[in-house]
Amino acid sequence: MPVLGLGVFQSPPEETTAAAETAIVNGYRLFDTAASYDNEREVGAAIRASGIDRAEIFVTTKLWISDYGYDEALVGFEACLRRLGLDYADFFLLHQPVPTDLDRTVAVYTAMEKVLAAGRARAIGVSNFSEQHLEQLMRRTEVVPAANQVELHPFFTQQPLRAFHARHGIATEGWSPLGGIHRYRPADPDAVLNALEHPTITAIADKYGARRRRRGCCAGTSSTRTGSPRTSTSSASS
């Protein structure tokens, strides 16, 4: 899995293909989408138009809770591949836990284990799971999630969860590592919302002569596995 990739959460479908194409030109090889983002088709179109060997591109997509359940998950997975226009997914995730219905969560993950065994997904994992959610899932399934994709950035470092991951061999993947939910749903509108403008980040960037965007990403990935900054603009992915 590449260390950094392009996430397309909240990226309008009409802007996603161009953003992904520009990202590919600028060296991105990991693309993170989801059934609920409504832009899997556009990500797939950009990959096909690039002419780059499929084996060089790493595609993550996620199953939404409306498809949780064993049979529902198998149908939902095929729908993801059909929208992407791909034969397999590199990484297939449960988008979020459903704590009120653990049986359905276990059933969908069991279906994902079948998809993994068949080679239709190269790896499986979860997103937005806490330590408790992971413990409950792992007690009733066979394959340890390859990664847990969670909010992770300089304002929210998730150290206890990352320690749990390390103990169990689960990679930590950060979504929106440039500030996450803090940027677009702030608890304190008067706070510095953009991690790239925070005095600590700017001071470190100036000290080492690094671009702020790069330094912000490094703050989220230096002791984890990977991160997916999100954008829908071609300039932000260059």
Active site residues: 37
Give dist(CA 208, CA 36) in Å, integer: 39
Among residues 1, 53, 10, the alpha carbon closest in space to that of 31 is found at: 1
**Strand, helix or coil at 171?**
strand
Give dist(CA 238, CA 138) in Å, integer: 39
CA angle 81, 85, 86 (to 5 degrees): 65
The two three-digit tokens of residue 141, written as one number? 């399934």
**Strand, helix or coil at 94?**
strand
Give dist(CA 28, CA 236) in Å, integer: 12
Residues with Cβ within 8 Å of 64's Cβ and at least 6 positions away in sequence, in order, are 34, 35, 36, 76, 95
Among residues 41, 37, 44, 113, the alpha carbon closest in space to that of 73 is found at: 113
Give dist(CA 128, CA 98) in Å, integer: 10
